[in-house]
């Protein structure tokens, strides 16, 4: 199978070179020509993410060679993935310049029995977790946050969702005490990370467990300090790091990210919210939208256009730390003594409830000079991007956590629900579904662990987008299957799987919409380097 995965990679590389040849003018890629090849670029981005997931799984199997179940899981995943890649390449062979017979050799000789056998084992042995390569320390962290998710978050998650409540203070307080806001902040600033070594893996482990408890009421609490901390660590002055990072790490300050605007979401470089220089700072004027947790936060990380020349694009942007009081609920208004005003109104959503995502209106809102991250205007886009890589891998981990919760619920239900005289888990189709869920979750997890290592070594920006793409798409399918296994009960508001389903839907939209990541980050990078 390893050899077939390499063959799949070779074919994808051939296709990427083919696209490059058709989209280049001289030695540069032409954006308009690239746009004319969106469909195959998108498919190739997905293939590349699947191949990276398969690689991560094969490495996992090699390191856990004594574990029979893991070998079964990895084999089943690689077979499924090779079928999926071969199908995708076959469909687009002509447009990708590939030979159909060569693609045909990718199809594995194995049949569906691999999945059916795995499913039977999963049901019989009630497999919720596989063996792990995590260090003892990370396993301890996982156990701590798993307890927190089960005992503190899960009991209130459903009510928060159904009543669209604020995350209760006891969750925020306990999460802060456990250090969850400081997972990407070095110890010298009060965070959980060693000073001399980044530890994205620790952050992933914590995120997964919290998201298993609830995406909206726990797992996503980490995203904002994660993005803010990475931006501050990448671009902030020493003074700014000392001022903000300890407050973020301890949870004394809660933060929100305000990048998206009503007219500009995926196209971040074109945002228009104005930052106008004054004697001692800046005045913000304009709108932001979808700023999650902006009500409860006292720190907003705001991307603004500090140079009015729109033709400068991303070079005219600066990133600001904007202070405001914390407000509970769905609406707020704050007036500064200087006359500035900030108004926020939560957008009603189908899921992802608890933090609330706000429309924000800034009117002459004053921000002092010292709150310009990096103290140099025009650098905001780079600082934002530094934060985004962290946000993307963290979102992949959020997806894994939601999938794990959905899988556990489906497995338990399949074992006890009797239809036509037998537990539905005794039927082959249910067994195959559960096996597919398990292999997908394992792949998402192992893939995110692999990318965490890359990020910690200073690389992995494109791979963070790949794992986000892979895991978030997978979460939609896994939560759908969990709901399906529950039959009518799955559609009831009172069952947790209906919440997992609506929550999972947002994962492919935020932190880089699926298409934007596939086309503008992954495919572009792969085509450029083909
Ligand atoms: C619940 C929720 C919470 C959020 N939280 C935050 C937050 O805290 N802070 C924040 O700043 N933002 C936040 N967002 C905003 C989120 O990041 C944006 O919604 C996302 O970036 C997409 O932008 P958009 O909604 O403007 O979609 P658009 O940019 O309008 O895109 C619409 C669709 O077109 C596709 N598309 C875009 N460009 C292309 C192209 N060139 N070719 C083909 N297809 C394309 C997109 O992929 C998408 O499917 C949140 C969003 C949601 C739903």
Number of Cβ within a 10 Å radius of residue 26: 6
* The residue count for the chain: 530
- What residues does ligand 1 touch, defined as CB less than 6 Å away? 38, 256-260, 265-266, 290-292, 349, 352, 357, 506, 509-510, 513-516, 519
CA neighbor of 475 nearest in space, from 427, 520, 510: 510
Render each residue's pLDDT in the chain as its tens digit; 530 residues. Answer: 899 999 999 999 999 999 999 999 998 999 999 999 999 999 999 999 999 999 999 999 999 999 999 999 999 999 999 999 999 999 999 999 999 999 999 998 877 789 999 999 999 999 999 999 999 999 999 999 999 999 999 999 999 999 999 999 999 999 999 999 998 899 999 999 888 888 899 999 999 999 999 999 999 999 999 899 989 999 999 999 999 999 999 999 999 999 999 999 999 999 999 999 999 999 999 999 999 999 999 999 999 999 999 899 999 999 999 999 999 999 999 999 999 999 999 999 999 999 999 999 999 999 999 999 999 999 999 999 888 888 899 999 999 999 999 999 999 999 999 999 999 999 999 999 999 999 999 999 999 999 999 998 989 999 999 999 999 999 999 999 999 999 999 999 999 999 999 999 999 999 999 999 999 999 999 999 99
> Which residue has the CA at smallest separation from atom 44 of ligand 1?
515
Burial environment of residue 529 by CB neighbours within 10 A (0 to 12, 13 to 18, 19 or more): exposed
Number of Cβ within a 10 Å radius of residue 187: 13
Q: Which of 258, 262, 290, 506 to mutate to test the pocket of ligand 1 (most atoms within 8 A of CB)?
A: 290
For residue 503 the two structure tokens come to 């929550």
In angstroms, rounded to a whole number, what is the distance separating the alpha carbons of residues 403 and 504? 8
In angstroms, rounded to a whole number, what is the distance separating the alpha carbons of residues 482 and 477? 9
Q: Which residues contact 30 (CB under 8 A, 6 or more apart)?
A: 23, 24
In angstroms, rounded to a whole number, what is the distance separating the alpha carbons of residues 145 and 139? 10
> Which residue has the CA at smallest separation from atom 39 of ligand 1?
516
The 3-class secondary structure across 134-156, one letter per residue, is CCHHHHHHHHHHHHHHHHHHHHH
In angstroms, rounded to a whole number, what is the distance separating the alpha carbons of residues 138 and 69? 22
> Which residue has the CA at smallest separation from atom 9 of ligand 1?
291
Q: Which pLDDT score, from 0 to 100, does residue 469 have?
A: 98
434 Cα–ligand 1 center, Å: 31
Task: Kindly give the pairing relationship between strand 28-29 and strand 24-25.
Answer: antiparallel
Main-chain dihedrals φ then ψ at residue 284, nearest 5 degrees: -95, 135
CA neighbor of 363 nearest in space, from 386, 339, 330, 344: 339
> Which residue has the CA at smallest separation from atom 12 of ligand 1?
260
Q: Which pLDDT score, from 0 to 100, does residue 505 have?
A: 98
> Which residue has the CA at smallest separation from atom 23 of ligand 1?
265
Task: Kindly give the pairing relationship between strand 341-346 and strand 357-368.
Answer: antiparallel
Q: Which residues contact 89 (CB under 8 A, 6 or more apart)?
A: 11, 12, 15, 43, 47, 96, 98, 103, 106
521 Cα–ligand 1 center, Å: 14
Atom index in ligand 1 nearest the CA of residue 511 equals 17
CA neighbor of 460 nearest in space, from 366, 368, 389, 388: 389
265 Cα–ligand 1 center, Å: 5
Furthest C-alpha separation in the chain:
78
CA neighbor of 69 nearest in space, from 125, 108, 142, 138: 125
388 Cα–ligand 1 center, Å: 13
Q: Contact, 388 vs 336, CB < 8 A?
A: no
Atom index in ligand 1 nearest the CA of residue 223 equals 8
Q: Contact, 342 vs 362, CB < 8 A?
A: yes
Burial track 351-375 (b if 16+ CB lie within 10 A, e otherwise) = bbbbbbbbbbbbeebbbeeebbbbe
In angstroms, rounded to a whole number, what is the distance separating the alpha carbons of residues 241 and 237? 6
Atom index in ligand 1 nearest the CA of residue 256 equals 8
For residues 206, 208, 209, 211, the Cα torsion angle rounded to the nearest 10 degrees is 120
292 Cα–ligand 1 center, Å: 13
For residue 180 the two structure tokens come to 């969850």
Which residues participate in catalysis according to the annotation?
511
267 Cα–ligand 1 center, Å: 9
In angstroms, rounded to a whole number, what is the distance separating the alpha carbons of residues 236 and 405? 37
Q: Which pLDDT score, from 0 to 100, does residue 112 have?
A: 72
Q: At what angle do helices 496-507 and 461-485 cross, to 10 degrees?
A: 150
Whether pTM exceeds 0.75: yes
Q: Where are the alpha helices (DSSP H) in 369-460?
A: 380-416, 428-456
Q: Which pLDDT score, from 0 to 100, does residue 385 have?
A: 87
């Amino acid at each position: 199978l390893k050899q077939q995965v390499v063959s799949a990679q070779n074919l994808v590389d051939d296709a990427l070179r083919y696209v490059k040849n058709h989209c280049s003018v001289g030695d540069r890629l032409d954006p308009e020509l690239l746009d004319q090849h969106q469909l195959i670029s998108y498919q190739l981005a997905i293939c590349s993410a699947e191949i990276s997931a398969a690689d991560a799984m094969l490495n996992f199997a090699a390191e856990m060679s004594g574990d029979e179940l893991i070998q079964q899981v990895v084999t089943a995943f690689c077979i499924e993935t090779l079928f999926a890649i071969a199908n995708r390449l076959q469909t687009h062979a002509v447009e990708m310049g590939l030979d159909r017979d060569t693609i045909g050799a990718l199809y594995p000789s194995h049949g569906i029995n691999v999945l059916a056998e795995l499913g039977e084992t999963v049901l019989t042995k009630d497999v919720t977790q596989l063996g792990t390569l995590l260090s003892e320390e990370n396993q301890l962290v996982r156990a701590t946050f798993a307890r927190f998710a089960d005992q503190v978050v899960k009991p209130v998650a459903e009510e928060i969702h159904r009543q669209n409540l604020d995350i209760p203070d006891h969750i925020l307080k306990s999460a802060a005490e456990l250090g969850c806001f400081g997972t990407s902040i070095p110890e010298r600033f009060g965070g959980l990370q060693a000073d001399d070594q980044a530890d994205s893996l620790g952050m992933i482990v914590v995120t997964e467990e919290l998201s298993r408890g609830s995406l909206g009421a726990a797992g996503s609490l980490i995203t904002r300090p994660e993005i803010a901390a990475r931006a501050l660590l990448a671009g902030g002055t020493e003074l700014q790091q000392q001022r903000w990072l300890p407050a973020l790490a301890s949870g004394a300050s809660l933060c929100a990210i305000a990048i998206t605007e009503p007219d500009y979401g995926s196209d971040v470089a074109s945002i228009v919210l104005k930052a106008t220089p004054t004697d001692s700072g800046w005045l913000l004027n304009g709108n932001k939208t979808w700023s999650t947790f902006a009500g409860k936060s006292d720190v907003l990380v705001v991307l603004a256009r500090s140079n009015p020349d729109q033709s400068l694009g991303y070079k005219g942007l600066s990133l600001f730390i904007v202070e405001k009081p914390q407000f509970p609920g769905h609406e707020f208004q704050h007036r500064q003594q200087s006359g500035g005003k900030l108004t926020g109104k939560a957008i009603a959503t189908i899921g992802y409830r608890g933090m609330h995502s706000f429309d924000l209106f800034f009117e002459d809102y004053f921000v002092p000079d010292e709150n310009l991250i990096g103290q140099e205007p025009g650098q905001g886009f780079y600082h934002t991007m530094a934060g985004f890589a962290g946000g993307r891998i963290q979102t992949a981990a959020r997806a894994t956590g939601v999938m794990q919760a959905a899988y556990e619920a489906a497995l338990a239900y399949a074992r006890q629900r009797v239809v036509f005289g037998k537990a539905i888990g005794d039927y082959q189709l249910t067994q195959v579904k559960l096996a597919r869920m398990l292999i997908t979750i394992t792949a998402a997890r192992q893939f995110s662990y692999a990318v965490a290592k890359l990020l910690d070594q200073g690389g992995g920006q494109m791979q963070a987008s790949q794992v986000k793409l892979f895991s978030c798409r997978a979460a939609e399918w896994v939560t759908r299957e969990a709901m399906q296994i529950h039959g009518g009960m799955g559609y009831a508001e009172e069952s947790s799987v209906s919440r997992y389903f609506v929550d999972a839907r947002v994962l492919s939209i935020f932190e880089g919409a699926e298409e934007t990541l596939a086309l503008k980050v992954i495919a572009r990078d792969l085509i450029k380097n083909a």
